[in-house]
Structure 1
Amino acid sequence: MSEAKFRTLARKVRNQIELGHYKESSKLPTHRALAKEYGTTPMTAAKAYQLLAEQGHIESHVGRGSFVKKDASLKHVIRSRHDQNEWNFSILQPCLGEHLDSLNTELKDCFSNINDPALFGYIEETGDRTHKDAGKTWMSHYGLDIDEPEQVLLTNGAQHALSTLIQCYSEPGDNIAVEALTYPGILSIIQSLGRHSIEVEMDDKGMCPKALKKACREQAPAVVIVIPSHQNPTTITMPKARREALAKVINKEQLWLIEDDLYAFLNDEKIEPICNLSKDRGFYVSSLSKAISPGIRCGYIKTPTSQTERLASFIRTSIWLTAPLMFEFASRLIQSKKAFEYASLQKRIAESRQKIAADVLNEFTLTSQASSYHIWLTLPDGLQARDFVTVAKDKGLIISSGQFFSHTQGESSVRLSLMAIADENRFVEGLNALKSLLQDSVRT
């Protein structure tokens, strides 16, 4: 069987799905019918369906056939719009109620005092050295080793950083190793760029080194992406020993590492990043979105010394440079230490919210950490995440199905963000509504 044939067929079926020829939740043709329609064999059709299932476009059931999956695009996973009639437990962001006035004052003060004309024009080398130095200060504060500010490259947030790195260090058709449950933004980037995600087994300490080694030998991924702190969605923070073990595999197998460490500020103490242990292969990604505000689209990549110019050139080619004015604001927050004060405040709020959630939802199975922004909730026996999320939405509860975080897992779990609802009374009200819905679902 030609690999090209089944991949070509899969692409044609996916195009038909995207064009609306095959509707959401509709049943797809049988293997034999699809093969007849496209002039190929049932075995090729079966292989094409298998690939589409692995990529998350369809789902197959023995005896029932194959069906188009419901839309799992980011707009359905994450709801950022605030509605006074809803409780948004979907999006992971800082709790903006506490420091919004202070942040607004800082922003006004910054932009009323900018007198450097260079910030209004083009800046060479993909960003001002002062802004790179601020990024160095931010990441170093949480344990990253950086020799020179020139190793810091600026991006329009972490999502842009991830997309840039995947494009620069892999080719269409390449395999990208990810945690078995991971942030849907990563899966979306991989899919949209024509790469394939490989789900690597996890345990209670994070990605398993032996499983990564096996994936390298069997599927030869070009890149591995890891979220080492307060992992999204499981909340796992890798201990030092696990990070060391992963670094050994990455170094031996000559993988490119993308360490997505946006939540390092929530750790109780510094934990050495994997990139410190894999300096020649690791790219460390950070931003201010989770610690301060998503509206500050300021991301940072710490690069291996040997890769700085290559990646800088790629960024320069694609966007020329990030917005200097926003990085000036971010840099002033970092230099004045305000950024670290805001981050510490968010950590305290997260700790308080975790205690409240643990108390309200104490009869259910939760995976969390004392300062995580979210909770991974295992649904009671008999409940399916997709069905429960739909019922919850009808009650005004916006939550994220576990199936959005994996092509093969998460059917019985949901992720709950604890920070998007700014008002604490409203937050508690929402948790109690969720508790009641869970109890009612069990009874019925």
Structure 2
Amino acid sequence: MSENKFRQIASAIEARIDRGQYPPNSRLPTHRDLADDLETTPATVAKAYKLLVEKGYVESFVGRGTFVKGKTELAQVIQAPDLETAYNFSILQPCLAQSLPMLQEAFSQASKVLSTELIGYTEFSGHPAHRAAGVQWAARYGLENGTPENTLLVDGAQNALSLLIIALTKPGDTIAVERLTYPGILAIASLLGRRVVGVDMDEDGMLPEHLKAVIRHEKPRLVVTIPSHQNPTGVTMPEARRKQIAQVIAASEVWLVEDDVYAFLNSETIPAICNWIPDQCFHITSLSKAISPALRCGFVKVPDSQVSVINAHIRANIWLSSPINYIAAAEMITHGSAFHVAEQQQQIARQRQRIAQSVLHAPYTASHGYHIWLPLPDGWRAERFVMEAKSRDVIVSSGSYFCPDSQESDHIRLSLMSVSSDQRLAEGLGKLDQLLQSEMNTLFHF
């Protein structure tokens, strides 16, 4: 028996935990039952469980068994590389080298206009000039009727999602999302005790008829959609589909949250869903994907009836997003450099999509966004592929993390922007292509 066999088994159990096959607080199989399942010995399973206890994945109790500890999946979807030499395809972020000079200049200019007024507390969710910059940013990419009064400042889109779920739902309520969705939404719902149901999709995004059925049968309080370059599928809703989704929401008593952080990647401006249902829709955008996640600058356009409600939640949770960051953000937006960098990021994304198409032989639906939703060849499952790729210093995101119902997946998501250069991108994709073309090897054979 290989001395490292228990470590391989621990890795497999860890992956099952991460994709939800063993949910938080559930009891793991007995040593003997799992040994039978994996064709090994109870002693080897015991060593694997001990290793998982040490890593903080599980807890063991004498006489009761071993239980999964609560754990967010976000840490597994977005991973820091174990080695500086790793090819990290798990992080959806812009090409930071492109953004850095503009950020340095913006913060330099911001330091010159700091005042006691700007570094103190302010009413509502931020200074009017900073909220006006948010209006300008969102309007450029398809949102209408935003004003400094109904546009609120938050610490990025993730903070906006959390605040809105807290404000608009209560524990036990149902939230409807795309059948495959951003794991950050699932993590928030899990931590807050909200139930999540999936709405079917096609090549144009969320299906209106199935959304109707979900609203009728599941009675969600909230629907969340990512209409542009959807994470993880890469689908962008055309205008006609957006209008249909708006019509379904308008005929219900459900709130819609439109998370449109990737709208700047659209080759042509597409109207926001919120334009048709301003009284039922919350529109989220931010600078994280276009410029830098470190800015933590997010903008939420809310229905007029909900401004005071959401302001109260912002104040209770963060009180105030950093005006210093928003001084720099407003500088970039009002002088146009933010839009220039966003266009450069769009061009880089398209170039990297072309590189991926030239390197990868596996069939997939190409897009113009930051990532690829890649189907795996027959016989592969995402959990196994992720482990095999990591052994080659390539980090990818398992498709299972994007499933609200924790189903197994035969897809992986590849971010094309976080690798430092086109050359390293091609090298990392080449390693993945070799793995995709190979038969499942025996690296993790039990």
420-429 or 87-96, larger mean C-alpha shift: 420-429
* Match runs of 1:245-264 below 5 Å: 245-264=244-263
TM-superposed CA distance for 1:158, in Å, is 0.4
Tell me which residue corresponds to 1:404.
401
Q: Is the 8 A contact 1:94 1:420 kept in 2?
A: yes
| SS in structure 2 of the partner of residue 198 of structure 1 | strand
Question: Would you say 1:324 and 2:323 are equivalent positions?
Answer: yes
**What residue is the counterpart of 2:290 in the other structure?**
291
The match for 1:222 is 221
Cα distance, 1:180–1:159 mapped onto 2, change above 3 Å: same
- What corresponds to 1:181 in structure 2? 180
Q: Residue in 1 aligned with 2:438?
A: 440
Q: Once the two structures are superposed, what CA deviation does each residue of 1:191-245 show, in whole Å capped at 9, x if it has no partner?
A: 1111000111111111111111111111100000000000000000001111111
Q: Deviations over 1:316-356 (max 9, x none)?
A: 12221111111111111101101001100000000000000
Residue 103 (structure 1) aligns with: 103
Compared CA separation, residues 82 and 336, structure 1 to 2 (3 A): farther
Hey, what does 1:306 align to over in structure 2?
305
TM-score by length of 2: 0.83
Match of 1:423 among 421, 430, 433: 421
Gaps of 5+ in 1: 1-13, 30-56, 58-66
C-alpha distance in 2 between matches for 1:89 and 1:168: 34
- Contact 1:227–1:259, Cα closer than 8 Å, also in 2: yes
**Distance in 2 (alpha carbons) for counterparts of 1:438 and 1:252:** 46
How much identity, in percent, do the aligned residues show? 45
The 2-side partners of 1:108 and 1:25 are apart by: 60
Aligned ranges 1:319-358 → 2 under 5 Å: 319-358=318-357
Match of 2:389 among 387, 392, 396: 392
How many residue pairs match? The answer is 392
| Residue matched to 1:114 | 113
- Partner residue, 1:75: 75
What does residue 94 of structure 1 align with? 94
Asked if structure 1 preserves the Cα contact closer than 8 Å seen for 2:24 and 2:70, the reply is no
SS of alignment partner, residue 120 of structure 1 = coil
> Quick check: 69-78 or 199-208, which moved more?
69-78
1:172-211 superposed matches below 5 A: 172-211=171-210
Trace 1:232-251 onto structure 2 (pairs within 5 A): 232-251=231-250
Residues 72/387 of structure 1: CA separation in 2 closer, same or farther (3 Å cut): farther
SS of aligned partner of 2:171: coil
| Aligned-residue CA RMSD (Å) | 2.6
Residues 24 and 287 from structure 1, CA distance in 2 versus in 1: closer, same or farther, beyond 3 angstroms? farther
**Counterpart contact for 2:24–2:69, Cα < 8 Å:** no
- Structure 1 residues 69 and 320: CA distance shift in structure 2, 3 A: closer
Any idea what SS the aligned residue of 2:295 has?
coil
Q: 1:413 aligns with which of 411, 414, 419?
A: 411
Counterparts of 1:39-54 in structure 2, within 5 Å, are none
Look up the SS of the partner of 1:354 in the other structure: helix
Q: CA deviation at 1:105?
A: 3.1
Structure 2, unaligned runs of 5 or more: 1-19, 35-56, 58-66
Q: Deviations over 1:50-104 (max 9, x none)?
A: xxxxxxx9xxxxxxxxx96996621111114584220000010001123323322
Structure 1 residue 383 and structure 2 residue 383: aligned?
Answer: no
Does the CA contact (< 8 Å) of 1:17 and 1:23 recur in 2? no
1:353 match: secondary structure = helix
Query: Residues 115-151 of structure 1: CA distance to partner in whole angstroms, max 9, x if unpaired?
Result: 3211211011221000000000000011101252111
